[in-house]
Structure 1
Amino acid sequence: MIDETTKGVFTIAVTPFLPDGTLDLASLDRMVDAYIARGASGLTILGMMGEAGKLSSSESVEVIRRVISRSTVPVIVGVSAPGFATMAAMSTEAMDVGASGVMVAPPMGLKTDAQIVSYFHNAADCLGETPFVLQDFPLATGVQISPSVILQIVEECQTCVMLKHEDWPGLEKITSLRKASEDGSRRISILCGNGGMYLLEEMMRGADGAMTGFGYPEMMRLVIDAYHAGDIDRARDIFDAYMPMIRYEAQPGMGLAIRKHSLARQGVIQHATVRKPSTSLSVQAIAEIDALARRQEKRLLDLGVPRDVFWQSDVQQDLSMSRK
């Protein structure tokens, strides 16, 4: 189970689809293996970038069971839903098959601090003993949660063990929460999102790791390992090698299509399909992504990062064979 001490890299997983929009279970298996091989200490599925809102309830259950049965690392399942009955049912399904916890984002429309606190009280009640992650992503939800409100939720809802920090800008929020913990507030795990855009600074502010996705998921592990080794310059150099692609993937409304293209390019998934409604990449965009990828590879090799750390050549070969 996840708890207040959980650290590391929980990679946010995409949901692979075939060209006709149906689930691609073979790619789902290959993706789980690739994420773990590239340094994930955990996986988070059915999040916003996992297209959870586009799946039927039966498809969601199928993804949960498939990933958990395949994974050798803890799995957190996104269970955000318009109603608590659906949330409770999905959480029960996930925990019964071996999930390590669930993640809950506040619904749009919560305006006041009292409404936010009340919502998470109700969520905690419906989840029972299941440990949960509070997803703080105001850019997507429109719900602004101040540090004081987070601290109140953490204090009053003991099963809230982790914050998925995605406020933007949000570095001062991490500092504020960690200062409160030093002063006696209950300390919980903080894993950060936003595609890793501020990862090193977040670690330096007191985060415990990352819970985000990126088309090159090994980036989070490489940066965090260098940080923990005390080699901040190397952490910056590695991050700088990936930064042009991180920046490109951060385009609103385009990020998932870009990420899936990058994963398909590497052979992690077979198709870059984003389930409709979706945005398609133009020929020009694909050329730009591929150019950035080539420069990224060169910079990593110049830094002495082994090719097999950031390029799954065996997976790529298997994919090439499957297309013949």
Structure 2
Amino acid sequence: MVALIDANARGVWIISATPFADNGDLDLESTDRMVDYYLGCGVDGLTILGIMGENTRLSQEESIRFTARVVKRVAGRVPVVVGVSAPGHRLAGDLTRAAMDLGAGGIMLSPPLGLRTEDQVIGYYDSFVGEIGQAVPIVLQDYPPASQVWMSVATINRVIADHSSIVVFKHEDCPGLRKLTRLRADEAAGLRRRVSVLTANGGLYLMQEMRRGADGCMTGFGVPEMLVEVCRLFHAGDVEAAEDLFDAYLPLVRHEQQPGFGLAVRKELLRRNGVIATARTRAPGPALDATDRAELDTLLARLARRLAEMGRTLPTAAQ
């Protein structure tokens, strides 16, 4: 049975890496292990073919093949959201239809480069939803550093109000805490229906975002067990324990958030954990050198000591 994403989405929706072999081909055996690992961490959903999934470095055929492998391995246990953002409707629409036919739980869609006005953003979503129909659940991605499109709260409200298929708002604007507060305030005032808000940026601002009304995160991190436990503690009402655990990991979270470079760190953590065979990214992607790996060793050693002081152990990465 296909699990669809909806406006009640909460917790951790992990942004999946895309494993590659040493020759740069898709590594589908590592993909199976990675899916098993993410599910074993207790994530609430998977999001594939995002920016950290190197979506722009895959062909359309590879994107569909990777989607098929992930959806088959997940086997309906959690929803799988597929990033379909593309410069034009044809590419995005074709991938949307293929993903949903394969059993995806929804799509993630960011406005494309080149939109300069609020009317253009509204028109883009009007035309795209008109093409694919209202039955496909959509995660509206707001990531200005990548899209170069800045959406006001008023525009976001309008797009959500106009399309019932938009059930999740992925909040990646930075700084964006006040934006998040305004979005929730507008809901409370009855200006539009409620949608799930999941945040990103590697979880860097996760605690503040959840305090301001986020339902969880749709992001990646090399030790996803931490994100899962932090969200569970927060939703159980133990906010201080959630803060304390997050604080212990913060140096590693910060290190992984280096623009352009962080993907190599995340993949190295997955490799050390035996999840993926190599930490390779596709050219011209980043790679760690010996100094980078030693730096990561130091961060992990410090994290292990801090966790020991808290009566905890480092889950599995780099053990």
TM-score tier, shorter chain, comes to over 0.9
The Cα shift of 1:98 comes to 1.0
SS at match of 1:144: coil
Deviation per residue, 1:178-213 (Å, 9 max, x gap):
110011111111000000001111111111111000
Q: Which residue of 1 aligns with 2:247?
A: 240
Q: After superposition, where does 1:179-258 map in structure 2 within 5 Å? A: 179-184=185-190, 185-258=192-265
SS at match of 2:276: coil
Q: Which residue of 2 aligns with 1:156?
A: 162
Q: After superposition, where does 1:54-65 map in structure 2 within 5 Å? A: 54-65=57-68
Contact 2:46 2:80 in 1 (8 A): yes
Picking from 35, 45, 48, the partner of 1:45 is 48
TM-score by length of 1: 0.93
Q: Which residue of 1 aligns with 2:172?
A: 166
The Cα shift of 1:242 comes to 0.8
SS at match of 2:222: coil
Contact 2:230 2:243 in 1 (8 A): yes
Deviation per residue, 1:79-136 (Å, 9 max, x gap):
1111112211111111111111000011111111111111111121122120101110
Give yes or no for the alignment of 1:90 onto 2:91.
no
Contact 1:223 1:235 in 2 (8 A): yes
Give yes or no for the alignment of 1:273 onto 2:271.
no
Distance 2:287 2:231 in 1: 32
SS at match of 1:175: helix
TM-score by length of 2: 0.95
Deviation per residue, 1:264-304 (Å, 9 max, x gap):
11212110000111122221111111211122123223323
Contact 1:34 1:312 in 2 (8 A): no
Distance 2:316 2:287 in 1: 25
Contact 2:16 2:46 in 1 (8 A): yes
Q: Which residue of 1 aligns with 2:73?
A: 70
**CA shift in 2, pair 1:49/1:85, >3 Å:** same
The Cα shift of 1:306 comes to 5.1
Contact 2:304 2:313 in 1 (8 A): no
SS at match of 1:44: strand
Distance 1:288 1:37 in 2: 28
Which consecutive residues of structure 2, in runs of 5 or more, have no partner in the other structure?
none
Contact 2:24 2:280 in 1 (8 A): yes
Deviation beyond 6 Å, 4+ runs, structure 1: none
Contact 2:11 2:232 in 1 (8 A): no
Q: Which residue of 1 aligns with 2:153?
A: 147
Distance 1:113 1:103 in 2: 20
The Cα shift of 1:252 comes to 1.1
Distance 1:64 1:207 in 2: 27
Picking from 112, 122, 132, the partner of 2:117 is 112
Distance 2:231 2:238 in 1: 10
Give yes or no for the alignment of 1:28 onto 2:34.
no
Moved more, 82-91 or 198-207: 82-91
Contact 1:30 1:269 in 2 (8 A): yes
Distance 2:280 2:272 in 1: 12
Contact 1:44 1:211 in 2 (8 A): yes
Picking from 285, 289, 293, the partner of 2:292 is 285
Distance 1:241 1:131 in 2: 36
Distance 1:119 1:131 in 2: 16
The Cα shift of 1:137 comes to 0.5
Q: Which residue of 1 aligns with 2:271?
A: 264
Give yes or no for the alignment of 1:298 onto 2:305.
yes
Distance 1:290 1:123 in 2: 46
**CA shift in 2, pair 1:264/1:95, >3 Å:** same
The Cα shift of 1:33 comes to 0.7
Moved more, 289-298 or 49-58: 289-298
Distance 1:164 1:301 in 2: 34
Contact 2:223 2:317 in 1 (8 A): no
Q: How well do the aligned residues superpose, as a CA RMSD in angstroms?
A: 1.4
Contact 2:115 2:149 in 1 (8 A): yes
Deviation per residue, 1:43-97 (Å, 9 max, x gap):
0001111011111111111110100011121100001111112211111111111
